Structure 1
């Protein structure tokens, strides 16, 4: 028989053993719970409006450059497959080369207008993008008009190489979203970063107003009236015009008018109002322009 005191000691020991086992389990469970909690990232604070705007603009610029690279590949392929002559390969190459720099400069300007985002890594990415765009833009400025006039096809290939080099500096925006929870949160909120986003789906600055219906040109399409340097004619597509001793090759595109004479080239953009001056010999004013053509006024 056990004595009462012995039972008490045994019971107490049993309680201690059970308590110790339970304590070990709880400790282990607690450690496990703490490990699980620490593995789960803490909720990021809501990103600032400034950061959301910055990330959205970065996504929009990335999309714009992707489209520029894609269009460049398509344009160069079209140039290489075109025939010879001013109306075909040479003309296409000239138009492609002349417009390349402005497209890059437009993206550069959009990024340059952005205020600092806040996260140092994001601001470093913006600075790296601006340097890259600036360097490529400068090189594109240098090749025009020489590359367009001397060897249009080869010049177009050189321009395309510069355009294709416009890929993101590292670490890019995707890498930043993995390292910075605040940038990741801003990326989720910026509509320009949504899959399948297209520029025309957001509010943009209104496009330049169209000149509307073209006014009637005094001399219609009779470019022969320009021989003495004084006329007002409607030009569509491309046309060779002799005016006051100058032989001009005029090209009317959707948003520009280009004049080529001898070794010089002059390009005017917009819906009308531009003036091209050729020394004391001739002045040409773009009276109005739309998708149908341009009304040009010549005077000595």
Structure 2
């Protein structure tokens, strides 16, 4: 049997214990010293190198898409301003139709190279981008430079319409960083995500100074020297050249040298570019500036 006095002692002890747990008796310093203070928020750990690389790759791909859309709109405007039947417009359109599908395929490849990031929302964004880009790649199947001669305006406008459909899925990467601290930290660390970042130029052998004099062409302006398929001539504006049985109309502009035959049109910029005409002839741009171009014709 428990005596009454014992009960009183137990009750008193209970009151003392409860009093010690109350908010009025202790200080913050006491709580900290005892290790019983409120837990502080933990800092976000630094992002992994893999996640930074993934986010950087995504930023690089979206930058390429932005540039592709901007350049496509500018090219279409230039083609329209030149006129439907203008040779320069047709040459520009042919170059546009030749290069745009490859540029879109390059973006597709870059997105495919991105392994899962480990962040589900980010991976869904990558998949949404890839679906859009693949749709444009499919839409561009069958596009050829020759379409520029059949319908300069229509063919380029159709391609540009597809390119302009490459708008960012929602939520895009910047929006996702506001919801995920890991993505935010990786976005801040990835150099490709910095404002104004552009991919670096590949290091190549320098081209001849476009402001300097052109080198001397072995055959001067004598295009008749090309009849056997081997010559080096200077073209300052336009020329009709027959080389190894191939009739080539050459037009030298400020930025491009255009080669046109009955069935093909090729446009080269700078020096070192090559234009092939089947198994019969090859043309190389030796040098090109505002004064003209030195061209070398050879047989393969």
TM-score (normalised: structure 1): 0.71
Partners of 1:102 and 1:254 in 2: CA distance: 25
* Residue number in structure 1 paired with 2:12: none
Q: Does 1:76 align with 2:72?
A: no
Structure 2 unpaired stretches of 5+: 1-18, 25-37
Residues 205/69 of structure 1: CA separation in 2 closer, same or farther (3 Å cut): closer
Note if contact 2:146-2:265 (Cα within 8 Å) is conserved in structure 1.
no
Note if contact 1:268-1:276 (Cα within 8 Å) is conserved in structure 2.
no
* Residue number in structure 2 paired with 1:173: 173
Q: Does 1:198 align with 2:197?
A: yes
* Structure 1 residue 205: Cα displacement: 5.8
Partners of 1:146 and 1:273 in 2: CA distance: 20
More helix, by proportion: 1
* Residue number in structure 1 paired with 2:206: 210
1:4-49 deviations in Å (ceiling 9; x for gaps) = xxxxxxxxxxxxxxx9xx869xxxxxxxxxxxx99x9853221111
> Higher mean Cα deviation, 174-183 or 138-147?
138-147
Structure 1 unpaired stretches of 5+: 1-18, 25-36
* Residue number in structure 1 paired with 2:147: 147
Q: Does 1:284 align with 2:282?
A: yes
Partners of 1:158 and 1:262 in 2: CA distance: 25
* Residue number in structure 1 paired with 2:161: 161
Partners of 2:79 and 2:232 in 1: CA distance: 33
Note if contact 1:188-1:194 (Cα within 8 Å) is conserved in structure 2.
yes
Residues 247/277 of structure 1: CA separation in 2 closer, same or farther (3 Å cut): closer
Note if contact 1:219-1:231 (Cα within 8 Å) is conserved in structure 2.
yes
Aligned pairs (5 A) from 1:93-172 = 93-172=93-172
> Higher mean Cα deviation, 79-88 or 50-59?
79-88
* Structure 1 residue 157: Cα displacement: 0.7
Aligned pairs (5 A) from 1:47-58 = 47-58=47-58
